[in-house]
């Protein structure tokens, strides 16, 4: 199977139709994998045609180092994205997008990623203490110096996107979007279409829930952040199982898995959407990548919409402190 490619908006960035989100290799979902296993999984993705890999300072030095080691031999063929925006690189410490901090983070990331330039540099969360014009201006200087190629935002609201784009073209917005979080359809997708900005949905499989592998009583590791997500309370999971069942029925009729239908649905929404599912398992990687070859026709998409229309997803996607950081 040859992996299809897509343009990320009008930025000139071209990537595989599906990327790989590397966060879970070492951060967020309980124990990650060891360095060698992480490097090997990234290289397996490259071998299967993936050219787009997403990491961040906030995922820990090991995460960027895995990406750097894995991709060094194929650096000219891949697009590496990373992010700045948290104080000391630690989300719990709060936000910090001061220009001097951005410059320092980029120098550290370049070392860990074993490269001389970052293809796509995102602000991880909008920092209300730093004018967006200053953030965009700092990244613009880094682009002029050849250390960064493209500028991105993550979980930003419409006003911030417009303000940033007026200073420096925003190549991509990375935000959550999936069959169980469709909020971007209201204001964000039309804005991105207008401005020619690509969209990179993270958690395209609902942090694993849309695969059908997580039930109401599925335990999570003690350091898995889903433990504090309202949408993953046992009660919410039990209530949201109806959504998973609906997707599973459609997948069965297509001879596909629920994960593949969830990813193919995202790909069908716009030609400039590139989801970045993450996994630590090779068989899941292969399952996810096969979604790029799954075509959902108008009838399929209509059936999915009809199935979801009567379902209200239960539970917030973030606890209150984290919810306050998005959409600014």
Q: In the structure encoding, which two tokens stand for residue 24, read together? A: 């879970």
- Burial group, residue 320, by CB count within 10 angstroms (0-12, 13-18, 19+): exposed
Tokens, residue 246:
């609906």
Cα–Cα dist 83/147, whole Å: 14
C-alpha 231/C-alpha 243 separation (Å) is 13
Contact 33, 61 (CB under 8 A): no
- Look at residue 23 and give its three-state secondary structure: helix
59 has catalytic annotation: yes
Q: Catalytic pick from 29, 59, 122, 177?
A: 59
Distance, in Å, from the CA atom of 134 to the CA atom of 140, rounded to the nearest integer, reads 10
d(CA 240, CA 234): 10
Q: For residues 104 and 203, what is the distance between their CA atoms, to the nearest angstrom?
A: 28
- C-beta pairs of 323-327 under 8 Å, 24+ apart in sequence: 325/95, 325/125, 325/126, 325/155, 326/125, 326/155, 326/175, 327/155, 327/156, 327/157
Catalytically active residues are: 59
């Amino acid at each position: 199977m040859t992996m299809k490619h897509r343009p990320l908006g009008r930025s000139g960035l071209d990537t595989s139709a599906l990327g790989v989100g590397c966060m879970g290799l070492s951060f967020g979902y309980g124990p990650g994998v060891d360095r060698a296993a992480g490097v090997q999984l990234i290289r397996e993705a490259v071998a299967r045609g993936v050219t787009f890999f997403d990491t961040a300072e906030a995922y820990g030095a090991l995460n960027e180092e895995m990406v750097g080691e894995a991709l060094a031999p194929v650096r000219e063929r891949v697009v590496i994205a990373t992010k700045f925006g948290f104080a000391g690189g630690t989300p719990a410490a709060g936000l910090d997008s001061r220009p001097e901090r951005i410059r320092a983070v980029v120098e550290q990331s370049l070392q860990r990623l074993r490269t001389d330039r970052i293809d796509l540099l995102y602000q991880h969360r909008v920092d209300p203490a730093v004018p967006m014009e200053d953030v965009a201006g700092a990244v613009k200087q880094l682009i002029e110096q050849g250390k960064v190629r493209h500028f991105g935002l993550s979980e930003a609201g419409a006003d911030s996107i417009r303000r940033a784009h007026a200073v420096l073209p925003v190549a991509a917005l990375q935000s959550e979007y999936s069959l169980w979080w469709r909020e971007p359809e209201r204001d964000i997708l039309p804005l991105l279409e207008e401005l020619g900005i690509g969209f990179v949905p993270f958690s395209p499989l609902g942090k694993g829930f849309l695969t059908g592998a997580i039930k109401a009583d599925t335990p999570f590791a003690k350091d898995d952040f889903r433990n504090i997500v309202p949408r993953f309370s046992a009660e919410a999971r039990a209530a949201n199982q109806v959504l998973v069942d609906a997707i599973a029925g459609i997948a069965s009729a297509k001879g596909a898995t629920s994960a593949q239908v969830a990813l193919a649905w995202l790909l069908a929404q716009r030609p400039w959407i590139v989801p970045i599912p993450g996994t630590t398992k090779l068989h899941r990687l292969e399952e996810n990548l096969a979604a790029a070859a799954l075509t959902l026709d108008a009838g399929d998409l209509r059936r999915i919409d009809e199935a979801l229309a009567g379902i209200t997803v239960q539970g917030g996607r973030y606890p209150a402190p984290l919810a306050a950081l998005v959409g600014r």
